[in-house]
């Protein structure tokens, strides 16, 4: 969350306005379009990257347990956000009534979709292999955290873009009231989500590329005893 | 003892049922969200770019 706040600070130039602010906005649009182009190219590469890096586990029961825990955590978090949302009604109404509800539903459904991946780990190329050793099981579990954003790269990207637009819309009314700092912060955060969404598949691809090789090395060591055997 | 075992089996069966509903619910959310986000993506990009332009043009009034 702090990362997103600091990302929003990159767009402080909007508060200064003028011709420089307009140029900044045009540059931002070009950056977003370039990011979307990069991400489009990476979506196919991501599917191939997941297919090229299988891991194995002897029994998927531990993924089922994590799936249940994730599901329950998402239920609790969503209910908490809904309670906070309904409490906000005492302060008045505005665009936030619609946008905040859409945000809560969108994030909740995203959380449930991630829990779904734990129930079906084969979608992340985790093979159920009874001959899988304990070390291979541990690698499958630890590396699953890297595979989740990769499998959901397109969905995360689209969700961040939609969330960004919703956040900008919810802050826009207050933004035009120059004495309202909150509106400017909300618009900047929305822009942060929007730009992050444009680059998300590219960033997740790089994250996987730089961090997964550690597991590849361990898997290679574990396969040494199996060389030459059927 | 058999009665206790039966009770425990029924509780286990109920918990398994709850877990299977969690799995179905998660798969449902994934399917519906994928469709919605694919449809909303293009509109969101266009609306986002228009909003950035509006903010930039509004900044000219400062």
Query: Does a structural domain hold residue A59?
Result: yes
pLDDT, tens digit only, all 62 positions of chain B: 688 889 999 999 999 999 999 999 999 998 899 898 888 888 999 999 999 998 888 888 76
Report yes or no: A64 and A122 within 8 Å, Cβ to Cβ: no
Query: Does a structural domain hold residue A230?
Result: no
Mean pLDDT in residue range A120-131:
87
The answer to whether A116 contacts B62, with C-beta atoms less than 8 Å apart, is no
| Backbone phi and psi for residue A74, each to the nearest 5 degrees, phi listed first | -65, -40
Residue A166: C-alpha distances to residues A50, A71, A185, B5, B8 (Å): 31, 25, 14, 53, 48
| Backbone phi and psi for residue A57, each to the nearest 5 degrees, phi listed first | -140, 145
Number of domains into which chain A is organized: 1
The answer to whether A175 contacts B55, with C-beta atoms less than 8 Å apart, is yes
Residues of chain A with pLDDT > 90, as a percent, come to 24
Least confident of A5-9, A87-91, A185-189, A214-218: A5-9
| Joined tokens for residue B53 | 């332009």
Measured distance CA(A199)–CA(A215) in Å, rounded = 25
Does pLDDT of A218 surpass 90? no
Query: Does a structural domain hold residue A185?
Result: yes
The answer to whether A66 contacts chain B (CB < 8 Å) is: no
Query: Does a structural domain hold residue A148?
Result: yes
Of A33, A68, A113, the CB nearest to B33: A113
End-to-end CA distance of chain B: 81
The answer to whether A71 contacts B26, with C-beta atoms less than 8 Å apart, is yes
Query: Does a structural domain hold residue A229?
Result: no
Does pLDDT of A230 surpass 60? no
Query: Does a structural domain hold residue A179?
Result: yes
The answer to whether B59 contacts A109, with C-beta atoms less than 8 Å apart, is no
Question: Which residues of A are less than 8 Å from B52 in CB distance?
Answer: 25, 28-29, 32, 191
User: Residues of A190-220 as b/e, b for ≥16 C-beta within 10 angstroms?
Assistant: bbbbbbbbbbbbbbbbeebeeebeebeebbe
Query: Does a structural domain hold residue A46?
Result: yes
Domain that holds residue A64: 2-224
Question: Which residues of A are less than 8 Å from B44 in CB distance?
Answer: 158, 161-162, 164-165
Question: Best interface-test mutation with B: which of A8, A47, A120, A165 has the largest number of B CBs within 10 A?
Answer: A165
Does pLDDT of A8 surpass 70? no
Give SS3 for A229.
coil
Query: Does a structural domain hold residue A40?
Result: yes
Name which residue leads in pLDDT, A187 or A228. Answer: A187
Residue where the block lists tokens 């509800």: A101
Name which residue leads in pLDDT, B15 or A185. Answer: B15
């Amino acid at each position: 969350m702090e990362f997103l706040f600091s990302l929003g600070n990159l767009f402080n130039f909007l508060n200064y306005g003028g011709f420089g602010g307009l140029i900044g906005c045009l540059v931002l649009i070009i950056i977003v379009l370039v990011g979307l182009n990069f991400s489009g190219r990476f979506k196919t590469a991501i599917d191939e990257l997941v297919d090229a890096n299988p891991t194995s586990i002897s029994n998927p029961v531990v993924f089922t347990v994590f799936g249940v825990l994730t599901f329950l955590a998402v239920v609790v978090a969503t209910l908490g956000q809904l309670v906070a949302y309904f409490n906000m009604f005492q302060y008045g109404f505005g665009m936030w009534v619609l946008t905040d509800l859409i945000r809560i539903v969108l994030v909740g459904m995203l959380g449930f979709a991630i829990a779904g991946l734990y129930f079906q780990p084969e979608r992340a190329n985790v093979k159920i292999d009874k001959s899988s050793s304990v070390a291979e099981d541990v690698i499958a579990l630890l590396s699953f955290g890297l595979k989740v954003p990769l499998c959901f790269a397109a969905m995360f990207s689209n969700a961040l873009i939609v969330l960004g637009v919703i956040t900008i819309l919810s802050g826009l009314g207050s933004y035009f009231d120059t004495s309202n700092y909150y509106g400017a912060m909300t618009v900047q955060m929305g822009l942060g989500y929007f730009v992050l969404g444009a680059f998300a598949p590219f960033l997740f691809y790089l994250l996987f590329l730089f961090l997964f090789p550690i597991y590849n090395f361990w898997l290679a060591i574990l396969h040494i005893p199996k060389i030459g055997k059927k | 003892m058999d009665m206790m075992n039966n009770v425990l089996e029924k509780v286990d069966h109920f918990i398994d049922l709850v877990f299977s509903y969690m799995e179905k619910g998660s798969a449902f959310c994934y399917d519906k969200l994928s469709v919605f986000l694919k449809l909303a993506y293009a509109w969101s990009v266009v609306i986002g770019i228009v909003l950035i332009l509006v903010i930039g043009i509004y900044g000219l009034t400062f």
